[in-house]
Amino acid sequence: MATISAAMVKELRAKSGAGIMDCKEALAACEGDLSQAGDFLRKKGLATAAKRAGRATSEGIVQSYIHMGGKIGVMVEVNCETDFVAKTDDFMDFAKNLAMHIAATCPVGIMPEDVPNQVILKEKEIYRAQALETGKPEKILDKIVEGKINKFYKDNCLMNQQYVKDPDKTIADCLNEVIAKTGEKISIKRFARFQIGES
């Protein structure tokens, strides 16, 4: 069995944001392999999140962020189960970082189903026209359009976006990590992003 040093625990903690005991458990389960231990923690976070999926979230905060000397502003509502968790550093840091992420990436919606149908129809029309322009055969156009729409969702839906502070994670991964840390269901309810000069 691999020896788990304090330095290894510290490094995994810095990378994952998980608690000391969780990091020790992950390193022990993965015989000291940091990469595998990171995956172990992410899977554990996903399992915790799945267990809590049906719970009600009636507490939380509305977090705001103003960027570029007042040129961009974001408000985001993040919910949790109890007022106690809403006041924890982990929860508040997640909400702050989320607001900054939204300011930077300008998502269209939280989930793919939040994107208005007319936006998707317009994107499909553009992708089809682009594929035809490049001389792609008619029979593969639908596959090309479908692939580009999936990429559109990844780039424009908040939960699917790569987190600006750590592109190895999606916002969904970050949410699952904070769920695992706090032990409560947490949900992103809604957001609004304002930019000077945009209608």
Residues of the chain where predicted confidence (pLDDT) is lower than 70: 1-2, 16-19, 45-57, 199
Q: Can you give the pLDDT at residue 16?
A: 66
Cβ-Cβ contacts under 8 Å for 64 (sequence gap 6 or more): 73, 74, 75, 76, 99
Q: Which one of 3.40.50.2000, 1.10.260.40, 3.40.50.170, 3.30.479.20 gives the CATH number of domain 59-110+157-195?
A: 3.30.479.20
CA 134 to chain CA mean position, Å: 34
Give yes or no for a contact between 120 and 72, defined as CB atoms under 8 angstroms apart: no
Distance separating alpha carbons of residues 60 and 86, to the nearest angstrom: 5
Q: What is the DSSP letter of 169?
A: E
pLDDT at 90: 94
pTM comes to 0.69
User: 3-state class of 20 per DSSP?
Assistant: helix
pLDDT at residue 32, as a whole number: 86
CATH class of the structural domain 6-52: mainly alpha
- Torsion of Cα atoms, 30 then 36 then 37 then 39, to 10°: -130
